[in-house]
Amino acid sequence: FTLTTTNVGTGIANGVELVDIIDTSKFENITWSGDGLYNSTTGIWNGIDLPSNGLSNSITISAVVNSAAAGLTVTNNALINGIVLGCDINGANDTASASITVQSADLSVFKVADTATPQEGAVVKYTITVTNNGPFDGTNVLVMDTIPSRLTYVSHSTDQGTYSTGGGSAYEWDVGDLAVGVTNTLTIRVQVTPAQTGEVVRNTARFISADQADISSPNDLASVDLRVGSTDLSISKIVGDPTPNVGDTVQYTITVTNNGLINGTNVDVQDLLPSGVTFNSAGPAGVLYNPASGLWNVTTGPSDYIGPGLTNSLIINATVDAGTEGQVIDNTAQIINATQPDPDSSN
């Protein structure tokens, strides 16, 4: 702020005092330069002598706008408060005001991952967006994304700005300028390094800075948790009647359970009926079972995956062949394929 006091009269004005209080709730680091003496605590500017004939004295008060002023129009008032020899014949011009509107921008960060439960070695894609919700355009916008030790950077792409390491695992996205209502996107691909199954890996993106003050900090960061997982597929099998007669129909029920943390896909089971029984039918409807090969495509048909804690079942109906009296007929089912590694093959 620049304050100028002028004597436009014909008499000499000595000991003029002016008051200009800077609002310290919205400004900080107050300094001044110019004629006379200024006390930033009281706001008093004194030591001013003004000859006649329109001569002036000036002072410049500098202050840093803090975050409390973001988005506000702040008015600064100055008032002549001194004694002038003779009298001031025009009190109407003894006050002056100046207003500033502090630019601000509500910059929000959002982040998602394409999976919440990746397996070891999988590549995860993070999508990070930064949006300017206004009311002013943003300039020199900077976002940081710190990649934790359990993840290894693979690649990235962005529709604006540059993305580079800020040292160690801290990566900076220099977005640049961001107009009101505009959203920019950064995609980061990382690989999950060996970790303990079930371990939670948190990755956070946060708004760091811009030329404009941010008027809403709760939306300045976004975190995504990954739970490193695997499938633990188990299989069980029961027979409805363990002591059938020749010609009876026996029913085998095979159940596959996912005891792990992530979906099981491309799961195949083999159950080839042994000699002594003849295949009749398989169910339920939609289940894909080939009696010639014994192959059951567990995750093809009604469901293309087995979710954590879920089961898929196959029912095989077969007839006991003649000539098998007194024989023990063993029937074995086993999991022979899955996309995900299984940490426990014993079940």
Is pLDDT at 25 greater than 80 in this prediction?
Answer: yes
Is pLDDT at 157 greater than 70 in this prediction?
Answer: yes
Look-up of token digits 């009101």:
180
Is pLDDT at 327 greater than 70 in this prediction?
Answer: yes
Which residue would you say has higher pLDDT here, 90 or 181?
181
Distance CA 254, CA 272 (A): 12
The partner residues of 77 in beta bridges, in order of sequence, read: 97
What pLDDT, on the 0 to 100 scale, is given for residue 53? 75
296-325: pLDDT as tens digits:
999 876 568 898 899 999 999 999 999 999
64-83: pLDDT as tens digits:
888 788 778 899 999 887 55
Task: State the average pLDDT over residues 185-204.
Answer: 86
What pLDDT, on the 0 to 100 scale, is given for residue 86? 47
Is pLDDT at 126 greater than 90 in this prediction?
Answer: yes
What pLDDT, on the 0 to 100 scale, is given for residue 166? 58
SS3 114: coil
Domains, the chain, in order of start with CATH, read 2-101 (no CATH), 105-227 (2.60.40.1530), 233-337 (2.60.40.1510)
254-287: pLDDT as tens digits:
999 999 888 888 999 999 999 999 999 999 988 8
Which residue would you say has higher pLDDT here, 79 or 13?
79
Task: State the average pLDDT over residues 165-178.
Answer: 80
- CB-CB contact of 81 with 25 (8 Å): no
89-112: pLDDT as tens digits:
677 788 899 999 888 899 999 999
SS3 69: helix
b/e per residue 93-126 (b: at least 16 CB within 10 A): eeebeeeeebbbbbbbbebebebebbbbebebeb
Is pLDDT at 4 greater than 50 in this prediction?
Answer: yes
Residue 110 structure tokens: 């959002």
Is pLDDT at 199 greater than 90 in this prediction?
Answer: no
The answer to pTM > 0.75 is no
What pLDDT, on the 0 to 100 scale, is given for residue 277? 97
Is pLDDT at 174 greater than 70 in this prediction?
Answer: yes
Distance CA 244, CA 239 (A): 10
Burial class for 165, CB neighbours closer than 10 Å (0-12, 13-18, 19+) = exposed
DSSP per position, 162-219: EEEESSTTEEEEEEEEE-TT-EEEEEEEEEEPS--TT-EEEEEEEEEE-SSBPS--TT
What pLDDT, on the 0 to 100 scale, is given for residue 89? 62
Task: State the average pLDDT over residues 105-125.
Answer: 92
Task: State the average pLDDT over residues 204-215.
Answer: 90
Is pLDDT at 197 greater than 70 in this prediction?
Answer: no
Of 46, 56, 59, which is closest to residue 17 (Cα–Cα)?
46
Residue-averaged pLDDT of the chain: 88
At CA 217, angle to CA 162 and CA 209, rounded to 5?
30
